[in-house]
Structure 1
Amino acid sequence: MQAEQTRAIVAICLMAAFADQHKDDREREHIRRIAESLSANSGVDLMQVYQDVLLGRFSLDAAAAALDSAELRHLAFEFAVGVCDADGVHDARETAFLDRLRTALGLARAEADAFTAQADQLAELPLDVAPAASSATPPAATAAGSGPRHSTMSDAELDRTILNASILNGALELLPQSLASMAIIPLQTRLVYRIGKSYGYELDRGHIKDFLATVGVGLTSQYVEQFGRKLVGGLLGKMLGKAGRTIGSVATGSAFSFASTYALGHVARRYYAGGRSLSGDALKTSFSGLVGEARELQQRYAPQIEERARTLDVGKLMNELRV
């Protein structure tokens, strides 16, 4: 893929990220850092693309015109849908943007709508899932900061739950399908919900979204980063080639997804076990430290992650996640 095509797809992702006009300063700053980081590795000045999009110097029609194959146009649309659905099913502004994008890319409505429906189902995955192995009664709810709590899961069960989720998300990042990457944040959200519930907290999506933002995980920016890594990290050719279960040769994205999931699980464990008494700064510090530990741990589990990816059926997983 030529540099101009990479530039066009990144621009479309950024336009999707800002389509709802509600991104806060933290999210914008995270996206800016992502563009700066990717610029150093792609040979394309993606930081300049970021600035051009924000200032309206790169139009949607110009970006679409740079994509000269049906595969690239479909891929750009899939990425945009994922970005718009990162923090929940797209709102009216994002819907209007996706409709304009579909038109600019010349995609058939039926095909575009079918993919969008799949992405929407992922964005609306129920938080409540099958109960944990322990059948103990959840601890009684008390006010935040009221003291330590005990989980209905044993330490070993909590460790296993977090590790299994981390391995699954690392495996998903190795797959070429766009929907595989889109499943990562819903699975992270569900993990936080399950841990909080084990400590007696009934969490809603709004709370979990705030928790993720506090520790430093932006929903929209995480999708932009995932797709950006695939554009510049060597997996794009496999995506365009409909490679199915082919494992990506570059594992940077897999390591990141493993590490962020592992760190989220363990910082959530500390937070809810302590009665939600950790400050925002303490949560960020704890998360950053755990990410560093998890990156080293990921090397130990790399064979399991790759094996999980080889046997992973994305369609079957999507069906399982809806129950």
Structure 2
Amino acid sequence: MTITAQMVKELRESTGAGMMDAKKALTETNGDMEAAVDWLRTKGLAKAAKKADRVAAEGLVGVAVKAGRGVAVEINSETDFVAKNADFQALVRDITRVALDTANSVEVLKATHLNGEPVESVLQNAIARIGENMTLRRMHALEGDTVVSYVHNAATEGMGKIGVLVALNGPADKAQEIGKQFAMHIAATSPLSLSEATLDPALVERELAVQTAKALEENASSAKPKPEQVIHNNIIPGRMKKFLAENTLLGQQFVINPDVTVAQAAADAGVEITGFARVMVGEGVEKKEDDFAAEVAKMVQG
């Protein structure tokens, strides 16, 4: 497979690796981007890359909570300028309220009526009126004894670039108070799951493969190599324990008080976190980057 400059650029940006290392990784993995990331990590040349970091789309996330139920709705626009438009913000607010009252999925939400017509039609009318393409991309619904919401980088009340929901069981006053802190923590740390039990097994298996290969390679090149038993029984399990602690909400150090984990902070407050949702505008969406220099060259040649 031909390794293009764009592929090298993308891998460098997602891993922080050098140009030659990125090119070699792609060559070794026949252009497979995920495998190239793992190859770089095995060699100690890159940090774990999350697809969710590749943010490009604009728009807003609307959040709303009522009576133990919360929703987060992402509506994308082409430009941030439209996301600041009062008409667009009103649209996000109205659709979020409809989602809170009736919907549990994007498909249901699109078919639900808003002011006498389906939400999907309302969105199409807004596209024609505002003059920019928009997409109702995602929604999350969460239920619990108490559901707390938080918006980071708020554009206006109840909407912004990152929307977080946290569901908790326990005394309502305690849950409301510390729930807001947990929501802010989630916005900052972006955990992959609530606990080890809810983490994607395929992700864990992939991480184990990377850490195993990395530990064995480091040991092989060490001046004083350790017995393989030590590598398999101590070093690799230790690294996996760290991975799980850093990527599960309950295992993370609480940003408000790093001396305790989130699980311990919840226990100390007498509450239980039963679920969460974190929605960031455009996460996982790739937006085409215009090559300005190439465009100008093409114009000159034309």
TM-score, normalised with respect to structure 1:
0.25
Which of the pair is proportionally richer in strand?
2
- Which protein is bigger by CA-based radius of gyration? 2
Which of the pair is proportionally richer in helix?
1
